[in-house]
Amino acid sequence: MSGSAAEAAFREIMMVKQSGSDFIPTPLDEATQNFVYGAVWVRPGLSQRDRRLVTLACVTAAGAPEAINDHVRATLSSGDLTVAELEELALHLAIYSGWPKARHLQSVIREQWAAIQQECDEDIEP
Residues 61 and 34 in one domain: no
DSSP secondary structure letters along 26-38: -HHHHHIIIIIII
Are residues 37 and 76 located together in one domain of the fold?
no
Looking at residue 45, its pLDDT comes to 97
In the chain, the number of structural domains is 2
**Residues 30 and 50 both lie in one domain:** no
Question: Model pTM greater than 0.75?
Answer: yes
Q: What radius of gyration do the chain's Cα atoms show? A: 15
Residue 59 and residue 104 share a domain: yes
Domain that holds residue 63: 46-126
In a shared domain, residues 95 and 36 = no
Instruction: Indicate if 76 and 114 belong to the same structural domain.
Output: yes
Crossing angle of the two packed helices 48-62 and 99-120, in degrees rounded to 10:
130
Q: What is the pLDDT of residue 3?
A: 74
Which pLDDT score, from 0 to 100, does residue 20 have?
60
pLDDT of residue 121: 79
Q: Is the dihedral of CA 101, 87, 79, 108 positive or negative?
A: negative
Residue 50 and residue 104 in one domain: yes
> How far apart (Å, rounded) are the C-alpha atoms in residues 94 and 99?
4
Q: What is the pLDDT along the chain (126 residues), one digit of tens a residue?
A: 777 899 999 999 999 886 666 778 899 999 999 999 999 999 999 999 999 999 999 999 999 999 999 999 999 999 999 999 999 999 999 999 999 999 999 999 999 999 999 998 765 555
pLDDT at 25: 86
CATH number for the domain spanning 73: value is: 1.20.1290
User: What pLDDT is attached to residue 32?
Assistant: 94
